[in-house]
Amino acid sequence: MAEGLSRRGTLVAGAGLAIGAALPRGARAGAAGSDHPNRLWYRAPADEWVQALPIGNGRLGAMIFGGIANERIQLNEDSFFAGSPYDGTNPKAGEGLPRVRALVWAGRFAEAQALADEVLVARPPRQMSYQPIGDLMMLFQGIENSQSYERSLDLDGAIATTRFKVRTVTHLREVIASPVDQVIAVRLSTDAPAGSVGVTVSLTTPQDGEVAVEGDDTLVMRGIGPAQHGIPGGIRFETRVKVRRTGGRQTVGRDAIRIEDADEVVLLVATATSYRRFDDIAGDPTAITTRQIAAASGKSWDALLGAHQAEHRRLFRRLEVELARTPAAALPTDERIARSGELDDPGLAALYLQYGRYLLISSSRPGTQPANLQGIWNERTAPPWESKWTLNINAEMNYWPADPANLGELVEPLLRLTKDLSITGQRTAKNDWGARGWVAYHNTDGFRQATVNSQALYGMWPMGGAWLLNTLWDHWDYSRDRAFLDQLYPLMVGSCRFYVDALTPHPKTGELVMNPSNSPENSHHPGVSICAGPAMDSQLLRDLFARTIALSELLGRDAGLRAEIAAAAAKLPKDRIGTASHLQEWFDDWDMQAPEINHRHVSHLYALYPSDQISLQRTPELAAAARRSLEIRGDEATGWGIGWRINLWARLEQRERAHKVLRMLLQPSRTYPNMFDAHPPFQIDGNLGGAAGIIQMLMQSHSGMVHLLPALPRAWPGGRIAGIRARGNLGVDLAWSGGVLEEALITADSAGPVRVRYGQAQAAIDLRKGERVAVRGTAKGIELRRLRAG
């Protein structure tokens, strides 16, 4: 950390930033008050869930409402799903798939889709949903006529705070979700000399459960997850709340604990389930919560808070971003969002980036489940789209900012999910396709189903595994971690074996395509999506095949398979430009006649972003066609759809268009008062895709090059960002003023060549490990200056 801070100090000093005057150095991470740039704050309690503030430690999540006389803290645990382990494969698939394929070749798409619903869709045809645990409820005595109310979420300290006055006494309530002690901890205190805290603590759950009191200081809630879609419930859960008070007295009821006249109260909340793995739910949640409470009980609040914040800040403080400060930054967060369409508020974009990083840290850590459709925050027993993992964009988008935003180790849960799918997906590959290797379709749940799990209109997309693997390869490309590569490569080999077996020649051209498939969730004719060889299939396979071949050569392994893959790759369809000068979404030129010309998905633009198969510099004709497709599709979309569009416009270096779309994302139609993305309803991928897009506007790393300020809008004339990452294990810090690069520092954490581009100028340099290079734009191009290593 000291080295990173040293680099940033050099950057700011060397750049002579005007931004220093615009944003006071005191308004930094850890500062208090409304000037704190990494802070959400409000003047009233939350009336609804999308106004509440999220905390999480990767496994445990909570939503803090900030009530005055009544407080609700809604609880989640990342492994708690409805149902129990099950096998959703359809026994008709093996004999049914050739019949579906024949109907597709005959152009009888509606019949093919209807048959696929019968013979390919899983049984049951839906997956299990992510579930809420319940609520921690607090009823406060003697609280009335409050004033000077404020609630906040400190992103740097990962603490939710509620503060207000009753007469002359200031009440303070603080909540954290500790990744160190694996508990949610709540402190209730005042500035009175003694005896001003009175509260009744209880637990409720929408699940089949019960609440009891153990001893005189512990609430225990136990239950079991619900049955769903004919699959019996089986995951057991337990929440244990330890009440610790200073002063006052305590009364124990049947299912609640009442504290009166205390000086301070600390609540320790542990939650666990019996889920061990997708096929094992025989764990002991009582043993886990008992152990966690016992360990945390021996620590003071200051010790719990200190350990929690040190671990959180180890990740969060790796990146700093500053954009010009305007008077809008002093407004409460909900007002900034409500007025974002009219305000000059560059700092809101900086806050959105840091909020995205905070959400990823809070919902995905090594050893946890990956961030799901809502991260880890869900209050509904029947959440939208089961709040699981959608593999045709949403799960991958969740991890787009991880590496560039300097949070690479948070990708680890996605690797484990992919490993699980490589097991269940072998069963699906053999059952459905008679193929080697493994496959995953467009969704999966806590039991890692790899089947067509919804009607074929949406689910008949056998490319989920390919996109997961390309996302994981991107992580390796940033980190160049050989240990990660050793885990990733076998998964890539298994996936390639499947596609080599499953690809089939197109009768018109002989090119190898996937049949049946679809272009995710988009219909080419009314109500019909099933087809052969959509553009995204070939784009994903070009990346997967090329990357597997490269890693095979690097490792000196699997020469025979490498030849099979290379032969298949040579026969994949190339991207096609259609009659409207657009990039075709399907093998046939159906785009302009498709029912939803403004569809939320832009799947055929994968080749532009997150891939780099299409670029302005190397493939200008395809880049122009991609731009035309994006113009036809339009900017207005769901929250996550807008997040993807920001990245695409940034890749096209359309700085003002990218900024326009970002402003659309930040408006109240797409951002809730608590800054959650409004799909609507809430989906976290919009937050994380938007965060990735902001970085893309400032720095891009693709096509073997680091691109500096490629899409800097006029609205951000001065600023800095320090601690971002580029491919090749590079650190990048940037400072600019007057819309012009002042200086960039690039640090090579692995040795190798570095190519840099700013505007139309390019330069290259070979760096040793630990060496740094300062980059400045000049009238003649780019000036590179070596700095000392270390």
Instruction: Tell me the two tokens of residue 689.
Output: 């895709």
Q: What mean pLDDT is predicted for residues 20-36?
A: 38
Phi, psi of 339 (to 5 degrees): -110, 15
Identify whether 124 is preceded by a cis peptide bond (ω within 30 of 0): yes
pLDDT greater than 70 at residue 681: yes
DSSP letters, 583-631, are: BPSSSSS-GGGSS-TT-S--GGGTTTTTS-SS-TTT-HHHHHHHHHHHH
State the pLDDT at residue 567.
Answer: 98
pLDDT greater than 70 at residue 6: no
State the pLDDT at residue 758.
Answer: 96
Whose tokens are 């890692």? That residue is 448
Q: What mean pLDDT is predicted for residues 196-214?
A: 98
DSSP state of 381: S
DSSP state of 346: H
Residue 525 buriedness (CB in 10 A; 0-12 / 13-18 / 19+) = middle
Q: What mean pLDDT is predicted for residues 381-410?
A: 98
Say whether 230 sits in a helix, a strand or coil: coil
Residue 56 CB neighbour total at 10 angstroms: 28
3-state helix, strand, coil in the chain (%, to 5): 35, 25, 40
Q: Residue 739: which region, alpha, beta or left (left: phi > 0; alpha: psi -120 to 50)?
A: left
Q: Residue 198: which region, alpha, beta or left (left: phi > 0; alpha: psi -120 to 50)?
A: beta
Return the C-alpha torsion angle 312, 315, 319, 325, nearest 10. -10
State the pLDDT at residue 64.
Answer: 98
Where b means 16+ CB within 10 Å and e means fewer, 599-627 reads bbbbbbbbbbbbbbbbbbeebeebbbbbb
State the pLDDT at residue 8.
Answer: 38
Rounded-to-integer distance, Cα 538 and Cα 66, Å: 50
Q: Look up the CATH number of domain 93-123+364-634.
A: 1.50.10.10
Say whether 32 sits in a helix, a strand or coil: coil
**All residues at 6 or more sequence positions from 778 whose CB lies less than 8 Å from its CB, including other chains:** none
Answer yes or no: are the C-beta atoms of 502 and 430 closer than 8 Å.
Answer: no
Q: What mean pLDDT is predicted for residues 498-516?
A: 98
Domain layout of the chain by residue ranges: 52-81+129-317, 93-123+364-634, 719-787
Instruction: Say which residue, 387 or 141, is predicted with more confidence.
Output: 387
Whose tokens are 């959440």? That residue is 383
State the pLDDT at residue 777.
Answer: 84
Rounded-to-integer distance, Cα 471 and Cα 412, Å: 12
Residue 367 carries which side chain, given as an amino acid letter? Answer: G
pLDDT (tens digit, 9 = 90+) per residue, 329-338?
999 999 999 9
Alpha-helical regions (H) of 598-714: 620-633, 639-651, 655-666, 684-698
pTM: 0.95
Q: What mean pLDDT is predicted for residues 397-426?
A: 98
Rg of the chain over Cα atoms, rounded to whole angstroms, equals 27
Rounded-to-integer distance, Cα 239 and Cα 271, Å: 4
Distances (CA, A) of 221 to 258, 259, 286, 436: 17, 19, 10, 46
State the pLDDT at residue 546.
Answer: 98
State the pLDDT at residue 746.
Answer: 97
pLDDT band at 107 (very low <50, low <70, confident <90, very high): very high
Give the helix/strand (H/E) hosting 540: helix 535-555
pLDDT greater than 80 at residue 427: yes
Q: What mean pLDDT is predicted for residues 432-452?
A: 98
**All residues at 6 or more sequence positions from 67 whose CB lies less than 8 Å from its CB, including other chains:** 45, 46, 138, 162
Report the 3 state secondary structure along 135-184. EEEEEECCCCCEEEEEEEEECCCCEEEEEEEECCEEEEEEEEECCCCCCE
pLDDT (tens digit, 9 = 90+) per residue, 737-783?
999 999 999 999 999 999 999 999 999 999 999 999 999 988 778 99
Answer yes or no: are the C-beta atoms of 775 and 783 closer than 8 Å.
Answer: yes
Same CATH topology for 52-81+129-317 and 93-123+364-634: the answer is: no
State the pLDDT at residue 258.
Answer: 98
Residue 716 buriedness (CB in 10 A; 0-12 / 13-18 / 19+) = buried
Residue 147 carries which side chain, given as an amino acid letter? Answer: Q
Instruction: Tell me the two tokens of residue 106.
Output: 């005959």
Rounded-to-integer distance, Cα 657 and Cα 664, Å: 11
pLDDT (tens digit, 9 = 90+) per residue, 123-152?
999 999 999 999 999 999 989 889 999 999
Answer yes or no: are the C-beta atoms of 274 and 235 closer than 8 Å.
Answer: yes
52-81+129-317 CATH fold? Beta-galactosidase; Chain A, domain 5 (2.70.98)
Distances (CA, A) of 709 to 621, 662, 721, 742: 23, 16, 11, 11
**In percent, how much of the chain has pLDDT > 70?**
95
Return the C-alpha torsion angle 186, 189, 194, 200, nearest 10. -50
- Poorest-confidence range of 9-13, 230-234, 364-368? 9-13
pLDDT band at 314 (very low <50, low <70, confident <90, very high): very high
Nearest to 31 by CA among 41, 22, 21: 41
State the pLDDT at residue 17.
Answer: 35
Q: What mean pLDDT is predicted for residues 512-522?
A: 98
State the pLDDT at residue 32.
Answer: 39
Residue 334 carries which side chain, given as an amino acid letter? Answer: D
- Helix pair 639-651, 620-633: axis angle to 10 deg: 150
Q: Integer distance in angstroms from the first to the last C-alpha of the chain?
A: 13
Rounded-to-integer distance, Cα 716 and Cα 18, Å: 12
pLDDT (tens digit, 9 = 90+) per residue, 598-639?
999 999 999 999 999 999 999 999 999 999 999 999 999 999
Instruction: Tell me the two tokens of residue 76.
Output: 């989640």
pLDDT band at 35 (very low <50, low <70, confident <90, very high): low
Residue 384 carries which side chain, given as an amino acid letter? Answer: P
Rounded-to-integer distance, Cα 120 and Cα 97, Å: 7
